[in-house]
Amino acid sequence: MKVDIWSEVTCPWCGLGNHRTARAIERFEHADEVDLVHHSFPLSSSFPEGETLSVREALLRRHGVGGGQAETATRRIERIAESEGLTPYRVLDNRVGNTDLAHEFLAHASAQGRNREAWDAIFTIYFGRAEPVFSLDDLLGLADGLGLDREQTRQALTDHRYRRQVRDDAARARRLGATGAPFIVVDGRYVVPGAQDSDSLLELLRKVWDAGRPRTRLGDAPVSAKGI
C-alpha cells in the first residue's frame, strides 16, 4: 500500500499532518507493507529569495491577520501538536521565507534514497528548533546531518537540477484535486485533504487494505475521503 503526502516545509499543519500520518502508519497492523512517500507543494514562492520575515509579519501581510488573532490561531496549533506528543513545536515565534530551494533539496535527498528521513529532518529543524531552512548554507548543514555528499548537494542546488521536478510534483497534486497542503492520497484512490487526525487516517488505511490491493493508478481520478 502506498501513501503519498504533499506538504509545504513551513506550513504548521503540514508538519502536524506528517506527524499524524506517521503515527497512523505505526499503529497500522500492516505497517511494514506501507510505503510513505513525501512530495512538494510549495506555497511560499512569492516571498523574495534570500530574505525572511517573522510569522507575525507574514500573517499580517498575506492574510491580514495580526495581534491577538495571530496569537490565538498559532498558539492553538502549538497546543494541538503538544497534546499529540509533538513538542516543542514552534509556530508563532518562527520565521518564514521562500522555500523553493528547500524543496529542491528535498527532491535531491529523495533521489539519494532519503525521502522520508529528509522530510522528517526538515520539519524537526524548522518547527522543533525554529532554525532556518532557506539558504544554501542552511540546506548543506541539513545534508551533512543526513549523510549526503556536501559537494554533490551544493552542485545540485546551484544548478537547480530539481526545480522542474518540484514544479511537476506540485502540478500532479493539483490535477488530483489539491488546493492546499497537506494533501494525502492513499493507494492512488482515496484523497485526504488537510491534517486529518491519526485515528481517521488509521481507519482509512484499514478500509483501503480490506478493499484489496490497488486497482487504480495514482494518475487516475481518486475518490475523496474527506470526513472519513
pLDDT of residue 226: 42
Predicted pLDDT of residue 62: 81
Cα 65 to Cα 129: distance, rounded to the nearest angstrom: 24
Q: 89 and 79 in contact (C-beta within 8 Å)?
A: no
Residue 213's pLDDT is: 58
In the sheet that holds 2-7, the strands lie side by side as 35-40, 2-7, 183-186, 190-193, 223-224
Please give the pLDDT value at position 66.
83
Q: Whole-structure pTM over 0.85, yes or no?
A: yes
Q: Cα dihedral angle (151, 152, 158, 161), rounded to 10 degrees?
A: 180
Count: domains in the chain = 1
pLDDT in tens, the chain (228 residues): 999 999 999 999 999 999 999 999 999 999 999 999 999 999 999 999 999 999 999 998 888 888 888 899 999 999 999 999 999 999 999 999 999 999 999 999 999 999 999 999 999 999 999 999 999 999 999 999 999 999 999 999 999 999 999 999 999 999 999 999 999 999 998 999 999 999 999 999 999 999 875 454 444 445 444 432
Domain of 129? Answer: 2-224
* Residues 50, 135 contacting (CB under 8 angstroms): yes
| CATH number (domain holding residue 175) | 3.40.30.10
From CA 103, how far away is CA 157, in angstroms rounded?
A: 10
Bridge partners (DSSP) of residue 36 are: 3
